[in-house]
Amino acid sequence: MTKGRMEAFSDGVIAIIITIMVLELKVPHGFGLEALKPVIPVFVSYVLSFVFLGIYWNNHHHLIHAIKHVSGGVLWANLHLLFWLSLTPFVTAWMGENHFAKWPVAMYGVVLLFSAIAFNILVRVLLAVHGKDSVLATALGNDFKGKISLVFYAAAIPLAFVSVWISCAIYVLVAAMWLVPDRRIEKTLAQ
Q: If we measure between CA atoms, which residue out of 61, 58, 70, 65 comes closest to residue 125?
A: 70
pLDDT score at 139: 79
Question: For residue 173, what are the contacts with CB-CB under 8 A and spacing of at least 6?
Answer: 152
Helices and strands, counts by H and E, the chain = 9, 0
CA 4 to CA 64: how far, in whole Å?
8
Q: If we measure between CA atoms, which residue out of 172, 183, 184 comes closest to residue 51?
A: 172
Higher-confidence position of 141 and 155: 155
Nearest 5°: the CA angle 17, 21, 16 is 25
CA 159 to CA 146: how far, in whole Å?
20
The sign of the dihedral angle between the CA atoms of 138, 116, 10, 12 is negative
CB atoms closer than 10 angstroms to residue 20: 15
Give the three-class secondary structure for 10. helix
Over residues 141-167, the mean pLDDT reads 95
CA distances from 112 to 91, 120, 121, 131 (A): 10, 12, 14, 28
Q: How far apart are the first and last CA of the chain?
A: 28
pLDDT at 24 over 90: no
Confidence of residue 122 (pLDDT cuts 50, 70, 90): very high
Per DSSP, helices labelled H in 24-71 are 40-65
Per DSSP, helices labelled H in the chain are 3-23, 40-65, 72-86, 88-97, 102-130, 135-140, 144-159, 164-179, 184-190
Phi–psi pair at 134, nearest 5 degrees: -75, 165
Confidence of residue 85 (pLDDT cuts 50, 70, 90): very high
pLDDT at 181 over 70: no
Q: What percentage of residues in the chain have a pLDDT greater than 70?
A: 94
